Structure 1
Amino acid sequence: AQTKETSCPHGTTIEVSQLFYNTPARKKFLKGDGTESSHITQVVTQHALAHPQIHFTLINNGRKVIDVLPTDQHLYRIAELFGAELAKELVQVDTDYGDYRLEGFISSPVYTRSSRSAQYCYVNQRFVRDKVILHSTQQGYSHLLPKGQHPAIYLFLSMDPKLFDVNVHPAKAEVRFAFQQEVHRFVSGSVKDSLSGSKKLSLPSMDQSENRFYTTSQSRQTDHRVGPASNYSEGQSSARLSSAMKLIYKDSAACSVDLESTRLRSPQVEIFHEKPSAVSNLIYSEFEPLGQLDRSFILMQGKPGILVVDQHIAHERVLYDRFKKAAENKKIEVQQLLFPLTMEYSPSEVELLVRHKDSLSELGLELELFGKNEFLLRTVPAILKNNDKEEIMREIVDMLPAQKHEEALHEKFEEILIMMSCRNAIKVNMSLNLDQIRKLISDLQETEMPYTCPHGRPIALLYDIDSILKKFLRK
């Protein structure tokens, strides 16, 4: 049949059949129905996310797999495709620099995935799996994520089409940037800046009367309605405990709870199975310390519920922020060793230390070459005064990059700061009184990221009051 152009007004239905008529060999290489269906769903999801103003419907064997109404806001499209709970954990990104503009949303550090399945990156509205963008995004989170965990990202990078090439992959799934390092720095910096000043987004009611969604004649005819506003809003706050209740142990010394002596033995007591939630937007000062649990965790009470804080990683976050600021301002407090420590290294390690000697000095580690393969350690950061200095130096040598590349050096020195903070932080099985607990929580509240440790682990878990009341059949 002759091919010719034709108009396609709104409401036009395009049907494609006999996909493999001209290439029957390709049909033999198809995988199972489930696998191919998942691929189709993924492709439709990618396009639906890139074009929120379009109504997408995917039907498979009579079942609606995707049915998203048109909207003028990406956040609502994300909520429909991936769930409102995920959308509530997102932080907005909106930056531009020169020829580049980056928009979209990324998850707060407390929301992670074990795979990259929730990562969607677009360049000029084209979905790509680009290593530069993915790596720069991960680097933007720095040490906020646990090892092996990945954030949810929905990012849209815009630039002049002349600055990248799409013809480097058969499926156009990869691009090549003219200035890769420039793009890498821009994306990682944008992610880092967005996280440092982040406030999690709330999902207001999707009220059509407020023009939250576009309404098409087709959507009205097929009776595709948006769900009730309660599906996306925070919901009504639950009844709180009486404000007249006195805080337990308010004026007494900290009460340590011995786990071994408080095991639940009565069959009439129901074990609390509710899963606590990692916090990312609570104000610690709104909670009152009660004491310690197993001399390792701090228990706090507030209107939202019971907060459990890991004392070791909380102090680690405090020390890391303090040490990092001092290093950036070159004002690290150092301790002069009464007797310099002599340490012997292999030739390759000596080369590393010589190469990075000045940088280590900025961290308070003053080294002097002594003989062929020996160094004298004359000063250490005051934070390490009670630690095994030789063992720490061994760890530092293992962390040093082989080349004095600026980005690699910065990343390794971040790891060194984290290691030194971890070594000097309050340990588990260490008793704290209420004054010490209050001081730690106050210092934690002043840090840039008070909800995760430098390794990315959550610092506090919340057992919310709603779940507790339900367990006691009070709701």
Structure 2
Amino acid sequence: MSSIRILPQEVANRIAAGEVIERPASVVKELVENALDAGARRIVIQVAQGGRRLIQVSDDGSGMDRDDAMLCLEAHATSKIHESADIDCIRTLGFRGEALPSIASVSRFQLQTRRHEANSGTEVLVENGSLRDVRECGCAPGTNVRVSHLFANLPARRKFLQSVETENAHVHETVLLQALSHPGTAFDLNLDDREVLHVAGTEDTASRLGMLMGRDVLAATIPVDYEEGGIRVTGFAAKPGLTRSSRREQRVFVNGRPAAADSVYFGIRDAYHTMVMKGRYPPVVLHLELAPERVDVNVHPAKREVRFREDRLVGQVVAAALRRALRELAGEMVAVPQPPLAAGRSGGRFPDLQLTAGPEQPSLPLAPALTGWPSLAGVVPGPAPVAAPPTVAADATAPDGPPPAGSERAGPAPEEDVSAQADPGTAAALTGRAVRGSAGESRPDAATPPARGVSPSAATREEIRGLRVLGTLNQLYVVAEGSSGLVLIDQHAAHERILFERILRAAREADGQQQPLLLAVTVDLGPEDAAFLSRHIEHFQRLGFGLEPFGGNTFLVTGVPVHFPSVNVGGLLRDILDELRRSPTGAPRPDEVRIAQSACKHAVKNERTLADKELRQLLDELARAEMPYTCPHGRPVMINLPHAEIERRFGRQV
């Protein structure tokens, strides 16, 4: 007798439920997606005891007739696809036909549905996978699903559910994501008879963002709208300085589906990597639109992750979209006229850089001559106007490493601190914890603690130039008065940003130029690294390396990029190899990493008191920087203390 048997349908459904229905939030997700696929314009979700006692989702979608109401509870019964080829061009959120039978197999399940043109509806009752009743009923057009006693027949699964508060938080995050991705649909969420979310349908994504996260969040974000290579990226991204301690608030949607994709996170990191500190993540809400055949949504049981056919291109487009938005932000901060430049050594601007001088600029001897950069003399131009975004190409620069592994995507987590640069109130806004306001719109939960400090983008470039220097604090911070209040500037971070942009611009202009080595250097690599380098040797040559095989796993280096004349050749090669192998989105940015390190090394140090003329020159140079609000490592350059805050501290304002 054969030991292999075909499992009964009830057992198969329970196994499928283990993959699809992880927790009550999974039930909410599947039911809401069905409602959206049915064209619902309003969805009402009610949850009791974290989903243990009740989950109810009602919609005004197309509804079903009696036959479809019965068929939808059969395994792999769906109206979304009909043949294998349909999976490659799927545009609906659901398509497998697994969710409803899986939910019905682990709960008491009640379905009421009615088509708009019908006079009556159909009610179906199922208990733990067994059909109990099918009857005609009176109900509103659309579909109403009640799920109660979830996992009652699976005590082990029920035991692993977390607290009511935690399960409610997961439900809230699930509904929040769907509301962000479908602004045209109205959503109501009630948790234990308490309305926690109420948003009306709108075609304006900015309005939906304000409804869900608070109007003040719009002041802390910039709009994103970019298209390249058949991929469109829209949404909103945080201004420099606003960061979180996890990636949880980097919300990504692909063709209307909340999804996680490493290539998108690489693109975000690439765009911000010289503006945020290591281990910090800028909040974003990004919508990617591309042909469905270019993305595989069938790679995860719960469809949380997607896979792109062109991972590298997607990451590059996301990075380009964010870079352009950030550059436009910098451009809006008032374009400062640039003085004409002449060849020669700097007589006025940071002579340690040996840069060309603008007219009538006083001397600013901030540090000894910069050693190890002889090729920069007379090369580095003064600050340039904000450039147009680069065209995305197959070999475009990409992120410098993979995002940290972890469970950041897994859903709601305890409230993290917002970076100290964030605007007051922004922390509450970005949590997405919304409650109904007096006007019917969602507002941030008043219980959420406000952020500390002020966004570095609070000062425009003109305001930076117009600051009146009052003195210095601890020989490190410049104390200045501006039109909006008191401003503290980290002189080391400010000088570091100026040096970084100058040297980086010179490196970009010298792209591919080579500095010959007086004596060639041999570099021995392991077999895997040697094989990888052989396949990508042209990439290294484009970077400016003189490189050729020297037998076995050894390579002969005869030249290095002109902007790295003094460098450990073997270490640099291995660093770039590691970054190339980690990054799925293209070439790394080893130049920016090392230039940032050099800028930090040569910037004016702590405990160095600058003269008044030097302080004035530092502010003028900072105002001309492309991104004057953070150093290359993401630390804030300035903190603004507004007049209102000062008055509040002195009790002059309630």
Q: Same fold (TM over 0.5)?
A: yes
Number of the residue aligned with 1:7: 115
Q: Secondary structure at the match of 1:52?
A: coil
Cα 1:83–1:342 shift into 2, 3 Å: farther
Number of the residue aligned with 1:264: none
| CA–CA distance in structure 1, aligned partners of residues 591 and 645 of structure 2 | 43
1:122 partner amino acid:
F
- Alignment of 1:319 with 2:499, yes or no, is yes
Deviations 1:198-245 (A, max 9, x none): 2699xxxxxxxxxxxxxxxxxxxxx9852699x89xxxxxxxxxxxxx
Q: Is the 8 A contact 2:515 2:559 kept in 1?
A: no
- Residues 308-457 of structure 1: matches in 2 within 5 Å? 308-330=488-510, 347-348=524-525, 399-402=575-578, 410-457=588-635
Q: Is the 8 A contact 1:68 1:81 kept in 2?
A: yes
Q: Secondary structure at the match of 2:469?
A: strand
Q: Secondary structure at the match of 2:613?
A: helix
Cα 1:183–1:317 shift into 2, 3 Å: same
- Residues 49-128 of structure 1: matches in 2 within 5 Å? 49-128=180-259
Please state how far the C-alpha of 1:430 moved relative to its aligned partner.
Answer: 0.8
Q: Secondary structure at the match of 1:59?
A: strand
Cα 1:299–1:393 shift into 2, 3 Å: farther
Q: Is the 8 A contact 1:401 1:408 kept in 2?
A: no
What number of residue pairs does the alignment pair up? 397
| CA–CA distance in structure 2, aligned partners of residues 414 and 451 of structure 1 | 17
Number of the residue aligned with 1:216: none
| CA–CA distance in structure 2, aligned partners of residues 227 and 287 of structure 1 | 42
Number of the residue aligned with 2:148: 18
- Alignment of 1:292 with 2:472, yes or no, is yes
Number of the residue aligned with 1:135: 266
Q: Secondary structure at the match of 2:481?
A: strand
Cα 1:54–1:454 shift into 2, 3 Å: same
Q: Is the 8 A contact 2:455 2:640 kept in 1?
A: yes
Cα 1:378–1:403 shift into 2, 3 Å: closer
Cα 1:335–1:302 shift into 2, 3 Å: farther
Q: Is the 8 A contact 1:140 1:188 kept in 2?
A: yes
Cα 1:474–1:393 shift into 2, 3 Å: farther
Deviations 1:135-185 (A, max 9, x none): 222222232110000011111111111221211111111112222222221
Cα 1:23–1:282 shift into 2, 3 Å: same
Cα 1:470–1:35 shift into 2, 3 Å: closer
Q: Is the 8 A contact 1:342 1:375 kept in 2?
A: no
| CA–CA distance in structure 1, aligned partners of residues 283 and 487 of structure 2 | 26
Cα 1:157–1:376 shift into 2, 3 Å: closer
Gaps of 5+ in 1: 202-222, 233-273
Cα 1:322–1:112 shift into 2, 3 Å: same
1:296 partner amino acid:
L
Please state how far the C-alpha of 1:286 moved relative to its aligned partner.
Answer: 2.6
- Alignment of 1:176 with 2:354, yes or no, is no
Cα 1:402–1:65 shift into 2, 3 Å: closer
Please state how far the C-alpha of 1:293 moved relative to its aligned partner.
Answer: 1.3
Q: Identify which range, 134-143 or 457-466, moves more after superposition.
A: 134-143
Number of the residue aligned with 1:467: 645
Please state how far the C-alpha of 1:317 moved relative to its aligned partner.
Answer: 0.6
2:281 partner amino acid:
H
Q: Which one has more relative contact order, counting CA pairs under 8 Å at least 6 apart? A: 1
Q: Identify which range, 78-87 or 183-192, moves more after superposition.
A: 78-87
Gaps of 5+ in 2: 1-65, 71-112, 117-138, 334-435, 445-450, 548-553
1:90 partner amino acid:
T
| CA–CA distance in structure 1, aligned partners of residues 613 and 598 of structure 2 | 25
Number of the residue aligned with 2:439: 226
CA RMSD of aligned residues (A): 4.2
Cα 1:191–1:447 shift into 2, 3 Å: same
Q: Is the 8 A contact 2:479 2:489 kept in 1?
A: yes
Please state how far the C-alpha of 1:30 moved relative to its aligned partner.
Answer: 3.2
Number of the residue aligned with 2:453: 276
| CA–CA distance in structure 2, aligned partners of residues 401 and 110 of structure 1 | 31
Please state how far the C-alpha of 1:87 moved relative to its aligned partner.
Answer: 2.7
TM-score scaled by structure 2? Answer: 0.53
Number of the residue aligned with 1:237: none
2:268 partner amino acid:
T
Number of the residue aligned with 1:209: none
Q: Secondary structure at the match of 2:592?
A: helix
| CA–CA distance in structure 2, aligned partners of residues 459 and 393 of structure 1 | 33
Please state how far the C-alpha of 1:373 moved relative to its aligned partner.
Answer: 12
1:401 partner amino acid:
L
TM-score scaled by structure 1? Answer: 0.71
Identity of aligned residues (%): 27
Cα 1:14–1:334 shift into 2, 3 Å: closer
Number of the residue aligned with 1:159: 290
Cα 1:343–1:304 shift into 2, 3 Å: farther
